[in-house]
Structure 1
Amino acid sequence: MNAANPIGVFDSGVGGLSVLQAIRRALPGEHLLYVADSAHAPYGDKSQQFIEDRSIALSGFLVSQNVKAIVVACNTATGAAVTTLRSRFAVPIIAMEPAVKPATANTQSGVIGVLATSRTLASDNFVRLFARHGTNVEILGQACPGLVEQVEAGDLFGDKTRLLLERYVLPLLEQKADTIVLGCTHYPFLTPLIQEIAGAGVAVIDSAAAVARQLQRRLEVAGLLADAARVGTECFWTSGALDKARPLIAQLWQADVEVCALPSQTLE
């Protein structure tokens, strides 16, 4: 590994692009490789073994591309697989953690809502996070089936998406939540609609910027930061259909992109 090597990022689908955007802002000179496992999205309704197997396969692909670090840009994959990944791969692996800690510092009402997949909410990582930060505040976990699929379809503002969000957000507001944590990397793409439903007095926060800072720190300590004067590039892969992936990734990345199909051995 050397500083010129790229950084690898993967997610169950396109949600991790919200993390990739934060990484790009923090590290403009880095080459970034992104893998969207959209053929298997969402991970939230899959078994732990399935998610672990997919995470190993995707990490193995990124390692074959000579990455110097891997960002698991998926809360569900973090909960199910990050311990296994760190035991199997030598590169630094940076994982997601819902922004519960900053939410506890932000709340005035003492009530925090967390939007996430059911598997993330049930994970050991999340249970520990609740226990660590839930002493002086009330933390309300809200599973959000269907939201990942709406983002994967590129439907960020449609009626169905709004109805789902109202179903998940309004009960949190009724229980006096004044801070909403986005515990899935797909959900930041829905922030404008969530904010519209919740109102200006409710803070909506995610952990993408914190993950980017942690990545930067890890690379700096290891002497692996690229020259900031270099112009960083992005490469995208998907396990899904290319004719759907290209326009969707371009929509969310807000730029024209080329998307490649993952090698067949990575799809199994």
Structure 2
Amino acid sequence: MILDSGSPIGIFDSGIGGLSVLRHIHALLPAENLLYISDAAYVPYGEKSEQEITARCMLIAQHLFAQGVKALVVACNTATAASIQKLRAAYPEQIIIGMEPGLKPAAACSNNHVVGVLATQRTLQSEKYQRLRDQLIQETQTRFVAQACVGLVNLIEQTEMDATELEQLLHAYLQVMANAGADTLVLGCTHYPFVRESIESVYARLRPGLAAATIIDTGIAVAQHLQRLLIQNQLQNLHTIEDTTHSASIAAYTTGDVTHLRSMLNKLLQLDNCPASPLQLAE
């Protein structure tokens, strides 16, 4: 299949978390057509084995490349850690971008060299994460206080999130970071930016009288990296910028409940007219 600048960009996650990355991509590259897949039948990836996650990622990548996407964004830290090398090996000619917990920018901006990392257990256990952490510990003498946030993804996936339950979870998970004195927090899962305000509020109460913590969300860095690669490969779509009669499209698909995805597109991104459709992927 021949790609051109008008070909779409594929983005996927285990659920709605990757919409936080799509939000940054759409803001930076408004002329690009976007295809989003929520693999909600398998959410959350963080509780699955590496083999299961990789199998799902390969299946979704195969589907998106068959649709003619010019770039693939793995908008999930857990999926990136488990499968990015295998995806790039399987599709060496394709643009494939993954997520990486923002440990490096966090270490660079932390004043006291104590950084809290909120992520899934699978991400924290991955060789990719641990290798980067160990490297930065040696290079920057930064202390990373990691916390696996069990249950947080499932809570964020709910159409009507329980505010009390969210508060209790965040208090428990952030307490260890406050005790350690972390002045910078890494959102190591693409779901977490959707509760960023709650994280900031709870953390501020755990550290009364101290300056607000710096929050690292790597979604915008992913969008910027995508833009650079599209320009390098002469694939950035400028047509809809030049032609005001045509606008870029966003289409969403899910292996789970379509009504839920439509609701979350409206709630999280204010995309009340974004087409959302069911998707079946043959194993």
TM-score, normalised to structure 1's length?
0.96
Correspondences of 1:169-184 after superposition (within 5 Å): 169-184=174-189
CA contact 1:246–1:259 (8 Å) conserved in 2: yes
**What residue in structure 2 maps to residue 209 of structure 1?**
220
Larger Rg: 1 or 2? Answer: 2
Alignment of 1:175-254 (within 5 A): 175-199=180-204, 201-227=212-238, 229=241, 231-254=247-270
Residue-by-residue CA offset, 1:196-222 (whole Å, 9 max, x unaligned): 011252111110000001101111111
Aligned partner letter, 1:98: P
In 2, are the aligned partners of 1:156 and 1:190 still within 8 Å (CA)? Answer: no
Cα deviation, residue 249, structure 1: 2.4
Provide the C-alpha distance between the structure 1 equivalents of 2:181 and 2:82, rounded to a whole number of angstroms: 31
Residues 75-154 of structure 1 aligned to structure 2 (within 5 Å): 75-89=77-91, 90-135=93-138, 136-154=141-159
> Match for residue 208 of structure 2?
none
In angstroms, what is the RMSD of aligned CA positions? 1.3
Q: Do 1:156 and 1:189's aligned partners in 2 also have CA atoms closer than 8 Å? A: no
Structure 1: gaps of 5 or more residues: none
Task: Please tell me the residue identity of whatever aligns with 2:77.
Answer: N
**What SS does the aligned partner of 1:113 have?**
strand
Change in CA separation of 1:106 and 1:155 when aligned onto 2, cut-off 3 Å: farther
Q: Give percent identity, aligned residues only.
A: 41
Residues 21 and 223 in structure 2, CA contact (< 8 A), matched pair in contact too: yes
2:72–2:96 contact (8 Å) kept in structure 1: yes
| TM-score after normalising by structure 2 | 0.91
Deviations 1:57-99 (A, max 9, x none): 1111111110000000000000000111111123210010111
* Kept after mapping to 2: 8 A contact 1:38/1:239: yes
Q: Is the 8 A contact 1:157 1:193 kept in 2?
A: no
Structure 1 residue runs of 4 or more that deviate by more than 6 Å after TM superposition: none
The question of 1:258 aligning with 2:275 is answered yes
Partner AA of 1:249 in structure 2: L
Alignment size in residue pairs: 266
Where do residues 26-65 of structure 1 align in structure 2 (5 Å cutoff)? 26-65=28-67
**C-alpha offsets along residues 206-248 of structure 1, whole Å, 9 cap, x if unaligned?**
1000000110111111110000615321000001011222112
* SS of structure 2 residue aligned to 1:35: strand
When structure 1 is superposed on structure 2, of 228-237 and 108-117 the one drifting more is 228-237
Q: How does 1:64-79 map to 2 (within 5 A)?
A: 64-79=66-81
The answer to which of 193-202 and 48-57 deviates more is 193-202
User: Could you tell which deviates more after superposition, 133-142 or 179-188?
Assistant: 133-142
- Describe the SS at the equivalent of 1:134: helix
